[in-house]
Chain A
């Protein structure tokens, strides 16, 4: 099918097909939910409480994350210190850290029996309860503070040299410098970061599952799970999934609009220079040490608690680890196999921007809503429990798709722009064209994307909790069971294993991509 004037046209067809498949797989469950919820859109008082709690904790989490992230980003941007690079890398870790692992670390650090509680007891202070609103917000800040700080830091470091020099020659210092140079950065990045964090916290499941203290601290996502697993009320689960879907779509559209806005300031020549560092050195140091300690303590706890238990893990944990590994690799392969043809198709299709935005849908649709929808579709045909693993793999692949596309598309665009003419002149078509002209330029972003997808799938605790049988446990689910049975030593060992596997997968794929590039 491939010929010289229409190179890779077969791939474009495959890509269009894959795009259609992705949209079907995403939208069909929403239709199933809408149809089921239509039987009677009835929410109880407690469901409204869950909706209120979801919004409240998301607001608090996003506000608190930003309130710390802004001074933290400023401090890191202004100061040069030993380990600064490591510090910035560490801030990227929570993103691929399995939620359940982090929660174990947080309980062991900031719980009723944790390090901090014992330390504070010496001076007669009591920590607030980690179960309930406090704990949910604490965990969300743990995950999103670094995300916000990195987003803002990026902009801060990109302040053009010209502007800093101009400010200095105008004698702008302290408050005036902040107002004219730094405040526009905050103003342009903070609202977008706030909405993104708000959105992430709204669809948070595992945190609320473990730290939510019953009816007082139930998120919509958790209420879907409870309506499904506890009450077996499919109508209510679907109603809640519809609320969740609308909320996330609305927020997602809002976030997309905000992120399109610029700083309103002219750009420079992309040269950056050091920001003024006069004054406030003590405050900056305090902010960096406090935030670094807050983030590093739970991670250190996981390593210290898990290490002695790692060799004594029960067989079930190893089985679950192996199953998770196979599932993570399958989801990664599936995600890449979908993303590549879709990326090719997007370069050639009309209205590509619209289709690309549709692919981002997966980012805002809650995994539990997807899982519920697929359960509703499968149940009349087969025993859905036997499909728990394939559905989980598909949902994980789908969730990672936006990240993979985001990483691959720009590289592909560039490869096509720089190599297409040469390849055509050389008569390279089809597979050879892809193999020699395009692929070498994709390896690096592909490695990064595959690492991200594998790590996220490895640590995912979502759909699998919805309808897995006990003999289908993934490592995060097995960990949850061990915590439930209060076999904390085993759970801590499993946490370290999961941490090693998640970060290890990311590292191997990312390194592999760089090595071959």
Chain B
């Protein structure tokens, strides 16, 4: 315990100490920098070659990340923001806080074509409700879920990209009927957490029957914990696809280093870490490179997705529908 106290005493003033190497600040979401997340391995791999000090700064879940950047404005020390998604892409672009990356995105293996001047994808996945495999009669649609008395955990769409993804999922599947689905779901929702980590943690503690997560989440339990007890429910409406993206800030004082990081992000050294740490599909690796266990995951028959501009046009109204239905 003694050494931790000494370490504590030293690092409290560490901010004042000058680093020899240039520092690259990458803002990202909480679970990315967790001990079990991709952060530690990626930091080590990039620092091997960059001659720099890569510092991850976590700021809640993905959507909170964008607010944090807006909060700091052009005085932010962020060089790269990693962990927004296509649903937030237009909103992020409109802040004027991002620069063009000038990187030709080759070798991408996304299900859709990618051509964007400011943002590059680093992984993707499908949203799904995850439950214990022994749950009797898991629902096969939002209507079945809403009619059941299952207890579910979801995330706040204003702070969390999965929470926002669920709002778009229901919009894409039901259009004008979205408000009704939300009203019917309201009595199933145990709580709305600010981020994915909180909701998933509560689910693992047994506070609910299902949690909004990804079709890839059961792979974590299967591969990392050799526990086949978690499943993702396949919904007839189809599943909404999330593509997670990163961008360079216009105010970065290390634009070259930031570009080098973005190039590194699409290289195998970064991409191969993603499946078993972030538990998502890598954006630039072939399916054959996925680890064993991923073949057991459900593959949606129908894929739902809005483009960045479509998502931006819908956002305020969709969140308002969500908030109004749930605040009754």
User: Footprint of B on A, CB under 8 Å?
Assistant: 44-46, 49-50, 53, 112-113, 129, 131-132, 213-216, 218, 226, 228-232, 311, 313-315, 318-319, 321-323, 326, 375, 379, 382-385, 467, 469-471, 481, 483-486, 488
Cβ-neighbour of A230 out of B158, B186, B189, B198 (below 8 A): B158
Whether the pair A485, B201 counts as a contact (CB closer than 8 A) is yes
Q: Which of B154, B186, B206, B207 has the most CB of A within 10 A?
A: B207
Nearest chain-B residue to A379 (Cβ)? B73
Task: Pick the interface stretch among B56-64, B103-111, B130-138, B282-290.
Answer: B56-64
Question: Shortest distance in angstroms between A212's beta carbon and chain B's nearest beta carbon?
Answer: 8
A467 to B69, CA, bound (A): 11
**Is B263 an interface position by the 8 A CB rule?**
no
How many A-B contacts at CB < 8 Å in the complex? 128
A399 CB → nearest B CB, Å? 23
- Across-interface contacts of A214 in B (CB, < 8 A): 154, 156, 189, 191-192, 326
Decide yes or no whether B200 CB sits under 8 A from chain A. Answer: yes
Inter-chain contact A230/B67, CB cutoff 8 Å = yes
Could you tell me which residues of chain B, from 245 to 281, have a CB within 8 Å of some CB in chain A? none
B75 near A485: Cβ-Cβ < 8 Å: no
A322 with B201: CB separation less than 8 A: no
CB distance from B58 to the nearest CB of A (A): 5
Q: Determine the interface band of chain B, counting residues with CB < 8 A from chain A.
A: 35 or more
Interface centre among A323, A326, A467, A469 (most CB of B within 10 A): A469
Answer whether residue B18 sits at the interface, using C-beta atoms and an 8 A cutoff: no
Closest B residue to A320 by CB, please name it.
B8
Does B177 interact with chain A (Cβ within 8 Å)? no
Known: A215-B192, A470-B57, A485-B197. A232 touches B71 (CB 8 A): yes
Q: Are A215 and B201 closer than 8 Å at their CB atoms?
A: no
Question: Is there an interface contact between A131 and B190, defined as CB atoms closer than 8 Å?
Answer: yes
Where the two chains meet, the residues of B that have a C-beta atom closer than 8 Å to any C-beta of A are 1, 4-5, 7-9, 11-12, 15, 30-31, 34, 57-60, 63-64, 66-68, 70-73, 75-77, 154, 156, 158-159, 186, 189-192, 194-195, 197-198, 200-202, 204-207, 320, 322-324, 326-328
- The smallest C-beta distance from A459 to any residue of chain B, in angstroms, reads 19
Residues in B neighbouring A326, C-beta threshold 8 A: 12
Chain A residue with Cβ nearest B58:
A470
Select one of B57, B60, B322, B326 contacting A471, CB under 8 A: B57
Closest-by-CB residue of B relative to A469 is B57
Q: Is the CB of A230 within 8 A of B71?
A: no
Known A213-B191, A230-B63, A469-B57: A319·B12 in contact at CB below 8 Å: yes
Docked Cα-Cα span, A324 to B75, in Å, equals 26
A227 to B66 alpha-carbon distance, docked (Å): 13
**B323-A46 in contact (CB<8A):** yes
Residue in A53, A314, A322 whose CB lies within 8 Å of B9:
A322
Asked whether, in the complex, the Cβ of A229 is within 8 Å of the Cβ of B159, the reply is yes
Give Cα A78 to B128, complex, Å: 60
List 29 A–B pairs whose Cβ atoms lie within 8 Å, in order of A's numbering.
Answer: A45-B320, A45-B324, A46-B323, A112-B206, A113-B205, A113-B206, A131-B191, A213-B189, A213-B191, A214-B156, A214-B189, A214-B192, A215-B323, A216-B328, A226-B158, A229-B60, A230-B64, A231-B158, A315-B4, A322-B9, A322-B12, A384-B71, A470-B59, A471-B57, A484-B30, A484-B194, A484-B197, A485-B34, A486-B201
Whole-angstrom distance from the CB of B132 to the nearest CB of chain A?
16
* Cβ–Cβ < 8 Å partners of B57 in chain A: 469-471
Compute how far the CA of A143 lies from the CA of B9 in the bound complex, rounded to whole angstroms.
34
Which B residues are CB-close (under 8 A) to A215?
Answer: 192, 322-323, 326-327
